[in-house]
């Protein structure tokens, strides 16, 4: 079967962000028919977004350098996120004069970190690398990184903060933000971020076997902390480099990248260290539980508000007001849990019938929770003579856990109908 797709244009991988164990022999579908292309030593990803002014120069510099050192044993993969300046098209036009160049144009996913991983997923190299596409990373450092990997390092990082490293004339604000981000990383993820001097670097090589099979889940710009946080990295080498000034285009860093970075650190924190091991052991979905707790808090507000309205303003009896308020709070909680906390599970069981069924189950479980809460409250207050509010708080906490776990396992569990 002949597909006219040229071998240099790469299909975009989808699904989990997981690099396969063995270099994928990629079926290079050319006009001469398909031929499985053997693995190579190095696959270097060049993530680009609006690098039209740099792409030709970076590709020829990298090709020239690698043709001299590892001729025929490398590939360059430009992963472009459908740049408005058509960087992907400019790169494709370069493939005729640079046979080791392949291009991936992503149209349904965006982001630097995932671009790099999708590139690695399509890569055939035993060593996977990444370099910025804007000439701010001096290409010649690649040779030192490669040397370190060949000498046994699992990860070789180009660092601005070791001997021979530095930045060109960065503003004080830029320096402060970069160092501030690093400090935050050291506080939130000491065991990960402290392993390298420049965790913000986006210029490094990693042995494929050190990250193969690991389910990566990065956010934003900092792919290196994802590799450090989820990879099996033992030996790390660092090579000093001076971060250059851009010749064309501009940095894509926005404030959102800083909030993404924070979110990324938190996500890694929750999946590593003691919390991560506890989560693994308990298989306890902490993130989902936190969302359930936020919804529960909103239910508290609804409950109190309705009680005030019915009992205080409309003069309805206390018991009837409390029951109506509790029921409306339960419906509030169901709506938010169905649309947010358990959204992925609800999406697998669409339709009003199933939603009403979930609401009925949720209601019964919450009402049982209410009875449990009153019993616990009395046990703690009358039995253990705890302060009433402390007893109430502990009872609410215990019932929240009950409500979450039973609803997760009963109301939203997807019973596959074969």
Question: Can you give the binding site for ligand GDD, defined by CB under 6 A?
Answer: 47-49, 51, 79-81, 110-112, 115, 132-134, 136, 200-203, 221-222, 243, 251-253
Candidates 136, 217, 349, 407: give the one binding Mn ion (CB under 5 A): 136
Query: Residue 73 or 82: which CB sits closer to ligand GDD?
Result: 82
CA-nearest of 139, 121, 120 to 129 is 120
Q: Shortest approach of Mn ion to residue 174 CB, angstroms?
A: 11
Distance of CA 146 to the CA centre of its chain: 27
Which of ligand GDD, Mn ion, none sits in contact with 221, Cβ below 5 to 8 A by type?
ligand GDD
Residue 201 binds Mn ion (CB under 5 A):
no
Q: Which span (60-68, 249-257, 277-285, 333-341) binds Mn ion, by CB under 5 A? A: 249-257
Q: Shortest approach of ligand GDD to residue 86 CB, angstroms?
A: 13
Handedness of CA 113, 117, 123, 126 (dihedral sign): positive
CA-nearest of 243, 223, 205, 212 to 44 is 205
3 state DSSP class of 79: strand
Query: Residue 19 or 329: which CB sits closer to ligand GDD?
Result: 19
Residue 178 binds Mn ion (CB under 5 A):
no
Residue 48 binds Mn ion (CB under 5 A):
no
Interface with Mn ion (CB under 5 A), residue total 3
Residue 134 binds Mn ion (CB under 5 A):
yes
Q: Shortest approach of ligand GDD to residue 200 CB, angstroms?
A: 4
Residue closest to ligand GDD when measured from CB atoms = 202
How many CB atoms are closer than 10 A to CB 80? 28
CA distance 159 to 141: 10
Residues across the chain? 418
Q: Shortest approach of ligand GDD to residue 17 CB, angstroms?
A: 14
**Residue with structure tokens 């808090």?**
297
Which of Mn ion, ligand GDD, none sits in contact with 203, Cβ below 5 to 8 A by type?
ligand GDD
Q: Shortest approach of Mn ion to residue 270 CB, angstroms?
A: 30
Assigned token pair, 321? 């007001």
Query: Residue 134 or 238: which CB sits closer to Mn ion?
Result: 134
Q: Shortest approach of ligand GDD to residue 222 CB, angstroms?
A: 6
Residue 51 binds Mn ion (CB under 5 A):
no
Q: Shortest approach of Mn ion to residue 249 CB, angstroms?
A: 8
Distance of CA 142 to the CA centre of its chain: 26
Vertex 302: Cα angle to 299 and 305 (nearest 5)? 150
Which of ligand GDD, Mn ion, none sits in contact with 58, Cβ below 5 to 8 A by type?
none
The burial of 183, by beta-carbon neighbours within 10 Å (0-12 exposed, 13-18 middle, 19 or more buried), is given as: exposed
Query: Residue 135 or 329: which CB sits closer to ligand GDD?
Result: 135
**Integer CA distances (angstroms), 407 to 292, 337, 364, 399, 401, in order:** 10, 10, 10, 12, 10
Assigned token pair, 346? 């609800």
3 state DSSP class of 98: coil
- DSSP secondary structure, 251-266, as one string: ----HHHHHHHHHHHH
Q: Which span (52-60, 112-120, 243-251, 313-321) binds Mn ion, by CB under 5 A? A: 243-251
Q: Shortest approach of Mn ion to residue 181 CB, angstroms?
A: 15
- By CB under 5 A, name the binding residues for Mn ion: 134, 136, 251
């Amino acid at each position: 079967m002949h597909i006219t797709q040229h071998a240099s244009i790469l299909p975009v991988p989808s699904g989990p962000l997981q690099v396969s164990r063995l270099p994928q022999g990629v079926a290079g579908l050319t006009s001469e028919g398909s031929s499985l292309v053997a693995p190579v030593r190095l696959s270097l990803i060049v993530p680009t977004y609006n690098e039209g002014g740099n792409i030709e120069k970076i590709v020829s510099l990298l090709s020239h350098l690698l043709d001299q050192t590892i001729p025929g044993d490398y590939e360059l993969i430009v992963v472009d996120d459908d740049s408005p300046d058509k960087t992907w098209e400019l790169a494709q036009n370069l493939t005729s004069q640079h046979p080791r160049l392949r291009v991936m144009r992503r149209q349904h996913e965006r982001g630097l970190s995932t671009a790099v991983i999708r590139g690695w997923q399509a890569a055939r190299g035993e060593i996977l690398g990444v370099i910025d596409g804007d000439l701010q990373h001096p290409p010649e450092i690649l040779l030192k990184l490669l040397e370190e990997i060949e000498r046994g390092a699992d990860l070789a990082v180009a660092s601005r903060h070791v001997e021979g490293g530095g930045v060109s004339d960065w503003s004080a604000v830029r320096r402060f933000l970069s160092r501030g981000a690093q400090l935050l990383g050291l506080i939130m993820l000491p065991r990960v971020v402290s392993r390298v001097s420049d965790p913000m670097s986006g210029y490094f090589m990693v042995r494929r076997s050190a990250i193969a099979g690991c389910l990566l889940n990065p956010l934003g710009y900092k792919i290196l902390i994802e590799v450090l946080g989820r990879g099996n990295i033992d030996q790390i080498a660092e090579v000093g480099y001076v971060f250059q000034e851009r010749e064309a285009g501009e940095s894509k860093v926005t404030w959102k990248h800083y909030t993404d970075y924070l979110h990324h650190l938190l996500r890694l924190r929750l999946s590593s260290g003691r919390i991560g091991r506890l989560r693994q052991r308990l298989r306890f979905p902490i993130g989902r539980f936190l969302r359930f707790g936020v919804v529960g808090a909103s239910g508290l507000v609804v409950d109190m508000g309705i009680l005030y309205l019915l009992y205080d303003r409309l003069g309805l009896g206390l018991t009837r007001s409390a029951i109506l308020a509790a029921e409306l709070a339960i419906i509030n909680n169901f709506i938010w849990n169905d649309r947010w906390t358990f959204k992925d599970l609800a999406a697998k069981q669409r339709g009003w019938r199933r939603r009403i069924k979930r609401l009925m189950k949720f209601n019964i479980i919450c009402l049982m929770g209410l009875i449990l809460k009153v019993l616990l409250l009395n046990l703690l207050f009358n039995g253990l003579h705890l302060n009433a509010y402390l007893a109430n708080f502990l009872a609410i906490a215990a019932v929240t856990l009950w409500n979450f776990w039973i609803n997760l396992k009963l109301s939203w569990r997807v019973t596959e109908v074969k």
